[in-house]
Amino acid sequence: MMTRMLSTAVLAALAGLNVFGQTAGQPAATATTRIPQFENQQVKVWKSVIVPNGPLTLHRHEHGRTIVVLAGGDLKIVKESGQTTVAHWETGKAYWLPPDPPGEMHKDVNDTGKTIEVMVVEMK
């Protein structure tokens, strides 16, 4: 049942997207942004568009989430402590990210020359 609801949430969120990740009729983003897509009692879904040199502010994730990559690339995850890791996300693939450790904050930094777009499906 939970799998069916999650599948429905992902399909609903992706339904308005073309193969390049943009929502039909929407111009390309010029700033890093989070676009709400769908939310219910089980999941929260949003599209993150991370433009070059437009980092997300410090934040944290209390719950595990699936990342569906619409436009891939290498994204730096910079913890508040300064520790940095690089996530290589391939277009068309999905990845599981666990909840952040208690009290840990991070920001996502795209220092490549192209926009990275992902759909995030976060469990509640």
Distance in angstroms (rounded) separating the CA atoms of residues 9 and 32: 23
- pLDDT over threshold 60, residue 56: yes
**pLDDT tens per residue across span 92-110:** 999 999 999 999 999 999 9
**pLDDT tens per residue across span 31-53:** 899 999 999 999 999 999 999 99
Q: What is the 3-state secondary structure (H, E, C) of 83-96?
A: CEEEEEECCCCEEE
Torsion, CA 33, CA 46, CA 60, CA 43, rounded to 10: 170
pLDDT the model gives residue 54: 86
Give the angle 13-60-39 at the CA atoms, nearest 5°.
25
> Tokens 């508040």 appear where?
80
Q: Which CATH number fits domain 2-18+32-123: 2.60.120.10, 2.60.40.10, 1.10.4010.10, 3.30.160.150?
A: 2.60.120.10
pTM, whole model, 2 decimals? 0.76
Looking at residues 110-124, what average pLDDT do you find?
95
Looking at residues 17-37, what average pLDDT do you find?
66
